[in-house]
A = this chain, B = another copy of it.
Amino acid sequence: MIKIKKTEYRPAPVRETLIQMKDISELMIDLAYSAALFNNRELAEEVMELEAKIDDLVYLLNMNLMLAARDKYDAETLAGVAKVGSLTNAISDAAADIASLVIHGIEVHPVVREVFQRAEEHLARVVLSEDSILAGKTVDDLDLAAEVGVDIIAVRRGMHWHINPDKEILMPEDVLVARGTDEELKTLVKAAQGEVDTLG
């Protein structure tokens, strides 16, 4: 499932890369927990996609750090940055390990699930269909938080992730990751799959 893929050098600002890694690793924890608590294989698979993304970013970070080092002082302090990168990779590996429990069918005991209440918020993923009323609009325009009650926390377009997707124009085949209650998420899924003409 995990494709080993060579990461080619491209210039990338170190700080932005690090912050992207932090955001992705936090999203991975969120998704991995939801996957485990609700035995949701789809969410677990998104975690694996993000894990591949982090692997790519770690390579990219390290290549850019190497090219940034001009002297001993640089090397010493950039090694600290590389360490932060590799620790973030460890965080992402742990989240992927949680997800892989779900993928390998290791179920989490009912003692965990039985206290789940329908009213509680959790995560879900849905693929946007071509005839969805959400397509062609931004998350901000749609005002989904107010209209439906769900919060779109990430959008995946092919291999590309948008972690703060509010300004993104949603397109067919986008994978939306949303947080909300069961009811709210059902409403979102219907809208994303083109089953309704209006929101709310």
**A: which residues have CB within 8 A of B?**
13-16, 18-19, 22, 25-26, 29-30, 33, 36-37, 68, 74, 77-78, 80-81, 83-84, 87-88, 90-91, 94-95, 97-98, 101, 106-113, 115-116
CB distance from A101 to the nearest CB of B (A): 6
User: Is A80 a contact partner of B109 (Cβ separation < 8 A)?
Assistant: yes
List B contacts of A97 (CB < 8 A): 83, 87
Main secondary structure of the interface of A (DSSP, over half): helix
- Knowing A29-B91, A97-B87, A107-B80 are in contact, say whether A112-B36 is a contact too (CB < 8 A): no
The CA of A106 and the CA of B30, in the complex, are separated in Å by: 30
List B contacts of A95 (CB < 8 A): 87, 91
The CA of A75 and the CA of B83, in the complex, are separated in Å by: 37
- Knowing A115-B13, A115-B15 are in contact, say whether A80-B94 is a contact too (CB < 8 A): no
CB distance from A111 to the nearest CB of B (A): 5
